[in-house]
Structure 1
Amino acid sequence: MSDETATAATTEESTTGRGVGQQRFVEELGAGLRPGQLAQDEATQTIYSADQGPMLERHLPLAVVWAESVEDVQHIVRTCSAYGVPIVARGAGTGVSGGAHATRGCIVLSLERMNRILDLNADDETAVVEPGVINAELNAAAAEHGLMYAPDPASFKISTIGGNVATNAGGLRCAKYGVTRDSVLALDVVMADGSLLHTGHQTFKGVAGYDLTALLVGSEGTLGIVVGVTVRLKYLPREVHTIAAFYQDFRSAAAGVLSVGKARVQPAIMELLDNGTLVQLDEMNGSDLQTRGKSLLLIQTDGFGAAAEAAVVREVLAAGGASVTTEASEEAEMLVELRRNSRGVEVDDEFRVGEDIAVPRSKLVDFVAALEAMASRFDVRLKVVAHAGDGNLHPTFWMDRVDSATDADALVRLNAALDESIRVGLEMGGTITGEHGVGQYKLRWLGLEQPEPVRELQRRIKELFDPAGILNPGKAI
């Protein structure tokens, strides 16, 4: 036999062996599940191959499986561990950083069917939920008891608690109530070997040992698969006042955020929208926001002191040159809802790149000025919305697709502006992600924020939790 023939035979044997191994793996995987819990058709594989984040490279999973119980997850993980098959866990797929993108040779484990609220204790002000529970549905259940689940990402009507935990999601109410980690008391987690681990406690306070719960929140499915979440609930405000303040430029609106802080008022919501966002909202909703100002600051106070706090806010903002609504109004409430839908809307005739940068609040005005200068220098357009209360901005650089068709370096300039926004944000003491997670897409910038000793320590933690590296490889760290 010639060397060429021997090589061909070896390659064929290897490929055949791999195919047989995959077939056995899928058969064993399916044997522990009920009919309808496993799919391998291309249409399903394609749908579940990605979340809403930018696609760097598309891979179809070997299979998509839907867990319906903790035991299902354990069976799936043990089978994958035995065959060395990577697992990408997924909730509703609303992430925007590629954290749920399929990787080569993986299965996608959907937790959307594990959607029960297992317990809601109004006296303890806690709830225990499965990972597939929709954020809004938990809030609806809590509201019946005068309570609420505070984290409210823009996707709260469709995103799952498990996905919120995976990315340590934020939202509009972060200014007062914090991010997901601040509301998670305990977790039930299936580890990489299929064992079940419980972390945390039922109480609001508890400092025994290392805080593994906090470590797992935001780990993006790389350390374990969350199958149960115990959350702390907050009181549903009986009174809410919403203020809309229009400014003639974005920097003045950013300065308004700082002026409210200096007045020592703590709003529940502080949202900032620039002129580009107002134009887009007008086009989508038939409103006339851009005729009233070039930037909009939305502030919401809540609780028994809401009216008094709102009065202080109106006075402070008016003194800074804003045109301020004089009393709580339905229009202001409507504007908050528009804000919830003002990012992530894809328009067919635009090229766009956007991010999730947070800077210290004292740097808001400087960073906004820097973003505007970048857009001018790179000859691209800019749209910014921000959770201004905690310095978390979502700048989007974009161009009309028509213009881009005759502009050979359009995408180059867009990405150059994006890269510079990251660099400048870090120089101002900020971070590459305030709430969306690193996922797959932001790994290219992680080294700019975290020095190698820190990254190496994280890799060692990952190895401890997941020695074979099968849990969402290539993400987060």
Structure 2
Amino acid sequence: MGDVIGELVAGLPAGAVVTDAAVAASYAQDMAGFSAGGQPLAVVTARSTEDVQHVMRTATAHRVPVVPQGARTGLSGGANAVDGCLVLSLVKMDRILEIDPVERVAVVEPGVVNAVLSRAVGKHGLSYPPDPSSWEQCTIGGNIATGAGGLCCVKYGVTAEYVLGLDVVLADGRLLRTGRRTAKGVAGYDLTRLFVGSEGTLGVVVGAVLALRPAPPPHLVLAAEFPSAAAAGEAVCAIMAAGHVPSLLELMDGTTVRAVNAMARMGLPETTEALLLAAFDTPDPAADLAAVGALCTAAGATEVVPASDPAESELLLQARRLSLTALEKVSTAMLIDDVCVPRGRLGEMLDGVAAIAGTYGLTIGVCAHAGDGNTHPVVCFDRHDADETRRARESFDAIMALGLSLGGTITGEHGVGLLKRDWLAREAGPTGMELQRGIKAVFDPLGLLNPGKVL
């Protein structure tokens, strides 16, 4: 391995290659539970496309696996190292190269933090809508790798809908440019979409052309309390069936509401079994909130509270923003699931998770992007208790099975990574997996890019 390190050092800036075992170990994994990371041979911090090309050429010549990494905020083990790999960190490739208000595009490197980009385009009266919960830390490259979503997806869509073109370094070091920067374009197969959500298994994204939108006006928020998950699910269906287009439609189950109350003393009724939050950034948001409030009442809401201004709206949203922090305090560890089901099955999903929590004797809270059916069951457990840890893992699998039985998918926005690799095979089926492995072989015939992930 000395030849590998020597070649890397010779072609990269001073300090770009770190071989200290303790430092390398700190890059072993992302934020996913139940997904062990290996010991990297070295960590390489790239600052340019040429750096990445040099790493991939060297790795290919010596048959050394490469694991691309961003900020490691992922929740599926997709950025976890494998033993003897090169961790390729892209966080220093963090330049916003261009913001074009006429074409409404931004050209960025993969290490740009989502929130940094959002603030930069905001100065031009524009917005980059995908807004994962970790938007203050996660990078655009990581968002592209996992096909990330966020709270505003119900109206504005997910990352894949905003990636117009990519610069990608392939496994052998060649540079591939996909897509376009024009408003339309259908030339050839859509390789851009193929890379979005591929979790670094097909190539290393080193640049992206992203679509932007005009900045929306401030939204107004409504909170509705329900006595059951089924009633809240009925309200979600009624809102969507009536043709409303909320900018946000979020749902918290009773377990999560009580956890937030315990931490923040927000005064939410302890009898609430589901809290629905709806927001509109339309020309007349108050009218939209009134119409949605009536639908919630008809579905069985016990209380409906519309905000009158953006400040009140932020107060109502505070409970949702505190959800994960509050559930973290329930026990010493948590495992965040990511199952997307048809909107019409949301109530069944939440009730099913509650039943699984009872079966395994665990606290499992659910937050959901209700507008697109994307649920995040959060399994709380004591990492120091072997039996409880086993039950947590088993409950996770039970939740995955429940989601598939309801016509859903194993991941809406977190990706497959290591955590859900076996479950992808169940969802995709033998023919689907055969074709996906074939695609992997075309782009990475030696199997060096992020091995063991997804497939």
TM-score category (smaller protein): over 0.9
2:366 pairs with 1:384 = yes
2:298 pairs with 1:319 = yes
2:157 to 178, 191, 201: 178
- Aligned sequence identity (%): 46
| 1:205-262 Cα deviation digits (max 9, x unpaired) | 2111100000000000000000001111112112411111122333322222112112
1:150 to 126, 129, 136: 129
Would the aligned equivalents of 2:77 and 2:417 in 1 still touch at CA under 8 Å? yes
2:79 pairs with 1:100 = yes
Superposition deviation, residue 438 in structure 1: 0.3
SS at match of 2:355: helix
Would the aligned equivalents of 1:254 and 1:272 in 2 still touch at CA under 8 Å? no
SS at match of 1:94: coil
2:212 pairs with 1:233 = yes
Would the aligned equivalents of 1:223 and 1:471 in 2 still touch at CA under 8 Å? yes
What are the within-5 Å matches in structure 2 for residues 349-364 of structure 1? 349-364=331-346
2:320 pairs with 1:333 = no
Q: Distance in 2 between matches of 1:337 and 1:39?
A: 41
1:280 to 256, 259, 264: 259
SS at match of 1:325: strand
Larger Rg: 1
SS at match of 2:197: coil
Q: Distance in 1 between matches of 2:76 and 2:266?
A: 31
- Say if 1:381 and 1:239 are closer, same or farther in 2 by CA, change over 3 A: closer
Q: Bigger shift: 295-304 or 139-148?
A: 295-304
| 1:343-390 Cα deviation digits (max 9, x unpaired) | 376448345443100111111112222222222233322210001000
Deviating above 6 A after TM superposition, structure 1's stretches of 4 or more consecutive aligned residues are: none
The AA in structure 2 aligned to 1:284 is: M
Q: Distance in 1 between matches of 2:40 and 2:316?
A: 41
Q: Distance in 1 between matches of 2:436 and 2:270?
A: 50
| 1:177-198 Cα deviation digits (max 9, x unpaired) | 1110011100000011111111
- Say if 1:35 and 1:117 are closer, same or farther in 2 by CA, change over 3 A: same
- Say if 1:454 and 1:248 are closer, same or farther in 2 by CA, change over 3 A: same
Q: Distance in 2 between matches of 1:99 and 1:58?
A: 10
Superposition deviation, residue 70 in structure 1: 0.7
Superposition deviation, residue 62 in structure 1: 0.7
Equivalence for 1:46: 25
What are the within-5 Å matches in structure 2 for residues 78-117 of structure 1? 78-117=57-96
Q: Distance in 2 between matches of 1:343 and 1:356?
A: 13
Aligned residues: 452
Equivalence for 2:141: 162
The answer for unaligned runs of 5 or more in structure 2 is: none
- Alpha-carbon RMSD across the aligned residues, in angstroms, is 1.9
Equivalence for 2:419: 441
Would the aligned equivalents of 2:249 and 2:277 in 1 still touch at CA under 8 Å? yes
Would the aligned equivalents of 1:239 and 1:304 in 2 still touch at CA under 8 Å? no
Q: Distance in 1 between matches of 2:436 and 2:370?
A: 30
The answer for unaligned runs of 5 or more in structure 1 is: 1-21
Q: Bigger shift: 459-468 or 408-417?
A: 408-417
TM-score (norm 2): 0.95
| 1:161-183 Cα deviation digits (max 9, x unpaired) | 00000000010011111110011
Superposition deviation, residue 140 in structure 1: 0.4
Superposition deviation, residue 55 in structure 1: 4.4
Would the aligned equivalents of 1:154 and 1:341 in 2 still touch at CA under 8 Å? no
Equivalence for 2:195: 216
The AA in structure 2 aligned to 1:226 is: V
Equivalence for 2:433: 455
- Say if 1:399 and 1:219 are closer, same or farther in 2 by CA, change over 3 A: closer
2:354 pairs with 1:396 = no
| 1:395-443 Cα deviation digits (max 9, x unpaired) | 1233467xx85xx743333333222221121121101111100001111
